[in-house]
Amino acid sequence: MKWSLLAPGAALLGACAIQHPQTAEEFRQYVPGATFGKVQTFEVNRPFREVAKTFQAKAPECLNIAVRTVETSNTSSTNILTTYKPTVLVSEKKAELHVQHSLKGNVIVPGKPPEGGDYYVVADATPLDRNRTRIDIYGPSIGANTLVRAITGWATGENVGCPDMTKR
Amino acid sequence: MGTRTWLVLAALVGATGCSGLKTYPNEASKNVHVSTQVDPKVRAALHVHEVTGACTSRYQGTLALDRPALDVGIAAEQPTYLVVSFDTSSFMAGSRSTSVGTLIQPRAGYEYELAVSYRQDIYNVALREIDRRKGVSRELPRRPMTGC
């Protein structure tokens, strides 16, 4: 049996493993200075309310999932269940999409993760004017490309599909 | 059946060849029209489960979604759990499978369109109910087994 210290590909989690941001706001503060952290900011030509509605519709539909990763070889095996938890908070001035994940199986994550799991990606939408919205996405620089592309599609409205969370 | 609507399985190495799948007979009147658009290396399939009550189901069979259009017959007025799976495999990444399921109880006299797509690791599964007599249609929300 092989015990994995960290989930494969979740590089930011590695950095967060000991210092777990306990809230989305702590995660926003943490990511810009993290070695494998990345903040992406862009504008979309879409009203804030539409972006918020899409986040509210797609996040629970697409991200309320679990991914089981199984690796076996002649000498070892790994079996990890990653459970994702999406949360969408909408106010007049901001829509927040929080994606947390927790790991179970033969994996060791030092430290104490927050309730619901470690923060994985946080996306904020804020209105610029009637038809334009600013998007800020906080997450790992590697290992979350598919999820970030999906969130970008939800924000622009050009592709409202779900990310294949087995793909990083 | 799990509590979650979707279960995603990534079997990176060592996937077995024992799938246990059988071909869905597809003998009922063709009331579900499936359109499929997937990347070349993605294998999509439709798995049909008869809901037998108390949120339990019996596997009926599988159809490969390997062509742009496929007509499927699902028993009318009977709850059925449809699962669409997307399988990919590569030498470096191993095999991965993602699936999404929804409950459907086809109404007699209605037709259904199931639009399935998988492009660049983003997928969509949308189900519409069509009333040809009135010329109207509506999108059906995804219904997990836990909601039954």
Distances in whole angstroms, Cα of residue A59 to Cα of each of A2, A157, B121: 33, 14, 16
Class of domain B23-147: mainly beta
Our count of domains for chain A comes to 1
Q: Is the pLDDT of residue A112 over 90?
A: no
Q: What is the DSSP letter of B41?
A: T
Q: Return d(Cα B139, Cα B125) in angstroms, integer.
A: 11
Beta B43-53 vs B80-90: how paired, if at all? antiparallel
- Cβ–Cβ contact A66 with B under 8 A: yes
User: Among B13, B35, B6, B9, which Cα is nearest to B118's?
Assistant: B35
In the structure, what pLDDT confidence band is assigned to residue B146 with cuts at 50, 70 and 90?
A: low
- Both tokens of B128, joined, read 């519409």
User: Among A140, A5, A142, A146, which Cα is nearest to A65's?
Assistant: A146
- Whole-number pLDDT of residue B91: 72
In the structure, what pLDDT confidence band is assigned to residue A158 with cuts at 50, 70 and 90?
A: very high
- Whole-number pLDDT of residue B3: 35
- Cβ–Cβ contact A40 with B under 8 A: no
| 3 state DSSP class of B27 | coil
Q: Is the pLDDT of residue A81 over 60?
A: yes
In the structure, what pLDDT confidence band is assigned to residue A107 with cuts at 50, 70 and 90?
A: confident
Q: Is the pLDDT of residue A99 over 60?
A: yes
- Both tokens of B61, joined, read 């069979």
Contacts of residue A156, defined as CB under 8 A and 6 or more positions apart, other chains included, come to A44, A45, A46
- Both tokens of B118, joined, read 């998988």
User: Among B60, B47, B62, which Cα is nearest to B99's?
Assistant: B47
Q: Where are the domains of chain B?
A: 23-147
* Lowest-pLDDT range of B64-68, B89-93, B112-116: B89-93
Q: Considering the entire predicted model, what is its pTM?
A: 0.83
Q: What is the DSSP letter of A19?
A: S
CATH of the domain at A45: 3.30.310
- The phi, psi pair for B3, rounded to 5°, reads -80, -10
Residue found under tokens 């269940």: A81
Contacts of A73 in chain B (CB under 8 A): 13-14
Q: What is the DSSP string of B71-113?
A: EEE--TTS-EEEEEEEEEEETTTEEEEEEEEEEE-PPTT-EEE
Element (H, E) at B143: none
| A4: in domain | no
Q: How far is CA B58 from the centre of its chain?
A: 15
Residues B125/B115, Cβ–Cβ less than 8 Å: yes
| 3 state DSSP class of A92 | coil
Question: If you average pLDDT over residues A128-148, what whole number do you get?
Answer: 96
| 3 state DSSP class of B22 | coil
Which of A71, A161, A166 is closest, CB to CB, to B124?
Answer: A161
Residues A133/A155, Cβ–Cβ less than 8 Å: yes
Residue span of the structural domain in which A140 resides = 19-63+85-101+111-156
Q: How far is B22 from chain A (nearest CA, A)?
A: 24
Q: Return d(Cα A119, Cα A79) in angstroms, integer.
A: 21
Q: Is the pLDDT of residue B96 over 60?
A: yes
Instruction: Number of helices (H) and strands (E) in chain A: give both, helices first.
Output: 4, 7
Contacts of B10 in chain A (CB under 8 A): 67-70, 166
